[in-house]
């Protein structure tokens, strides 16, 4: 009985850690997407270059978070492999996380292309 409670406590702790990681990444991605959707239009070549530099800084920040994404996804998959009691919720969060990440990357690419074409 004590081992069962200890196991359940560890599962709950792992779930809490996973959910916090997902929450933090989703909040961060929302902020990044907001920054990318600013409709600031460059007026000249130097304005375009400034916006491109800012956009490249966002890409560097995205790349820096890659380890966090990997750790979160790995933890989620490990929980699913262990048949965690909250597997359905974990799976939904993994899908949401990967979908939001793909959308963020798509927006980054679209904005980069827009800025690149604005330079001409």
Q: Is residue 15 part of a domain?
A: no
Q: How confident is the model at residue 47 (pLDDT cuts 50, 70, 90)?
A: confident
Task: List Cβ<8 Å contacts ≥24 apart for 115-119.
Answer: 115/42, 115/48, 115/51, 115/52, 115/55, 116/52, 118/41, 118/42, 118/48, 119/45, 119/48, 119/49, 119/52
Cα–Cα distance, 119 to 24 (Å, whole number): 35
Where in the sequence is the domain holding 52, given as residue range(s)?
45-120
The tokens describing 91, both together, are 């799976």
Radius of gyration for the alpha carbons in the chain, expressed in angstroms and rounded: 19
pLDDT band at residue 95 using 50, 70 and 90 as cut-offs: very high
Average pLDDT over residues 55-70: 97
* Percentage of the chain modeled with pLDDT above 90: 72
Q: Is the pLDDT of residue 69 over 80?
A: yes
Average pLDDT taken over every residue of the chain = 93
Q: Output the pLDDT for position 97.
A: 98
| pLDDT class of 46 with cuts at 50, 70, 90 | confident
Is the residue at 74 inside a domain? yes
Q: Could you tell me the CATH number of the domain that includes residue 115?
A: 1.20.58.60
Overall number of domains in the chain: 1
């Amino acid at each position: 009985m004590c081992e069962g409670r200890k196991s359940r406590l560890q599962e709950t702790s792992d779930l809490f850690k996973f959910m916090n990681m997902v929450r933090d990444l989703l909040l961060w991605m929302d902020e990044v997407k907001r920054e990318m959707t600013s409709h600031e239009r460059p007026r000249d070549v130097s304005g375009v270059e400034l916006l491109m530099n800012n956009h490249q800084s966002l890409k560097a920040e995205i790349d820096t978070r890659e380890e966090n994404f990997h750790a979160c996804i790995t933890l989620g998959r490990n929980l699913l492999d262990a048949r965690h009691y909250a597997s359905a919720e974990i799976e939904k969060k993994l899908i949401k996380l990967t979908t939001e990440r793909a959308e963020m990357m798509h927006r980054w690419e679209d904005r980069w292309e827009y800025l690149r074409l604005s330079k001409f």
